[in-house]
Structure 1
Amino acid sequence: MSAPLLSDSATESAEQLTRGHKKKARTRQSLVDAALRIYARKGSGELALNELADEAHVSQGTIYNYFRTREEVLEAVGIALAEQLSHSISVLSAGIDSGAERMAIGIRTFVRRAIADTDWANAVIQVIHYDQGIRSAVAVNVRYDLQLGLKQGSFIYSDEEVALALVVSCAIGAMNSIVEGRGVVDHDIKIAEMVLKALGLPSVEAQRIAHLTLPASESN
């Protein structure tokens, strides 16, 4: 039996519903983007919903259609940043089967992105210290690379949680230095090399891997 055809009125209603969902999604994204700009300027603890409304050029009533509290805004921002970071890592590490190389790619990508966009870096720094969601999302990728490197004999560590904290803290610390104007030449390479050494990789090998050319999509 063939599916019944929608009437003209039903089709129009369905199209309006779709347009409505798309409009709501765009509005929500514009609010998240506005919150990111505020976090980059002032920090995650300084956002007020009325300020978010001004930044996004919407009414305060519109804000409450999407977020009831500052914490809900922060959670949304954390999820958005986590998705960006996770996607970047996955794309750049595709086809790389070395845990040490994957680790270097991830660290260098974050640091180079911070150099290119300090507002983005500042927002990441502010949110990652506040929101558990983004820390968990970043940890998934780092943990996989740690486990792979350990299995391959590249890394040596006695506690995975400590190793995880080491990697994330070093990457965020490097980004913070850049935001504060304390970046150095080849900052991304130097921090990646130091982390690889801390994880047990011999100096010569850590240096070699840290200096490998990044995948073309992020190397320019």
Structure 2
Amino acid sequence: MPDTHTAPKPAPKSEGRVARRQRRNRAALIAAAREIMAEKGVDAATMLEIAERADVGAGTVYNYFKSKDELAVAVLESLMHELAMRIETVTDTFGDPAQVYAFGIRTVLDTATTDPRWKQMLPRSEVIADALFRTMGPFAIRDLNNAVAAGRFRVTDPALVWRLTCHAIIGMSLAITEGRQEADSKVPIIARLLCMAGIDGEGADELAARSLPDLPPAPVERN
């Protein structure tokens, strides 16, 4: 029998021309939608102008996104992933794994309540919370597990804690932006969310009140 440890592995299957074109078209549509929605908002943007800026046929856009709302969610998911990577550059320097998670959820809350591209999507709260769960979940659940391993948190189901946290963050962000919740209540909000990770109230309060290092700047949207 051949030695499976030394036998050459088959080369990865190359991406076909159609698949490459589809990937490029989808990326171009998201990039164009990001620009136009940043310029005029989700409601005023049209699928036609997004398709034109992406250099994609007006009818073709619906092969990738069934509606403008679906495209807007894809745009927000790209912003969420971008934010996660910016958070990574800061939290990689932290020695306390609990602070990594606390900084992440505080930064998401701050961004959701101050970035117009997030704020205009908050009324679609259930959809946005689900997008947040999917997009930033790999980072947040990893951070929860690291804090559990370090003895800082006590969590038996990190995915459930993260899902609950997503809905709480988006719900509170909407309440803040609509004036139903005071903006200066963010620290106690984060402390209560940290309690869901199994840390005591005093520890949660201390974590939530820690100073926030600056994030690296976000990429500038092209006009």
Q: Normalised by the shorter chain, which TM-score bucket? A: 0.5 to 0.7
Does structure 2 conserve the Cα–Cα contact (< 8 Å) formed by 1:81 and 1:134?
no
Does structure 2 conserve the Cα–Cα contact (< 8 Å) formed by 1:74 and 1:131?
no
Q: Residue 31 of structure 2 aligns with which residue?
A: 29
Q: How does 1:1-220 map to 2 (within 5 A)?
A: 29-35=31-37, 40-41=42-43, 51-54=46-49, 62-64=57-59, 68=63, 69-70=65-66, 73-74=71-72, 76-123=74-121, 126=124, 129=127, 135-217=133-215
Amino acid at match of 1:149: A
Q: Distance in 1 between matches of 2:75 and 2:41?
A: 10
Change (3 A) 1:26 1:205: same
Amino acid at match of 1:53: L
Deviation at 1:193, TM superposition (A): 0.7
Deviation at 1:210, TM superposition (A): 0.7
SS of alignment partner, residue 70 of structure 1: coil
Deviation at 1:144, TM superposition (A): 1.0
Change (3 A) 1:36 1:138: farther
Amino acid at match of 2:206: R
Deviation at 1:98, TM superposition (A): 2.1
Does structure 2 conserve the Cα–Cα contact (< 8 Å) formed by 1:78 and 1:128?
no
Q: Distance in 2 between matches of 1:27 and 1:165?
A: 29
Change (3 A) 1:28 1:77: closer
Please provide the CA RMSD for this pair.
3.7
1:122-172 Cα deviation digits (max 9, x unpaired): 336638726966532211111011101111122122322321222222222
Aligned-residue identity in percent: 20
Change (3 A) 1:161 1:61: closer
Where in structure 2 are there 5+ consecutive unaligned residues? 1-23, 217-223
Change (3 A) 1:164 1:61: closer
More helix per residue: 1
Where in structure 1 are there 5+ consecutive unaligned residues? 1-21
Does structure 2 conserve the Cα–Cα contact (< 8 Å) formed by 1:104 and 1:192?
yes
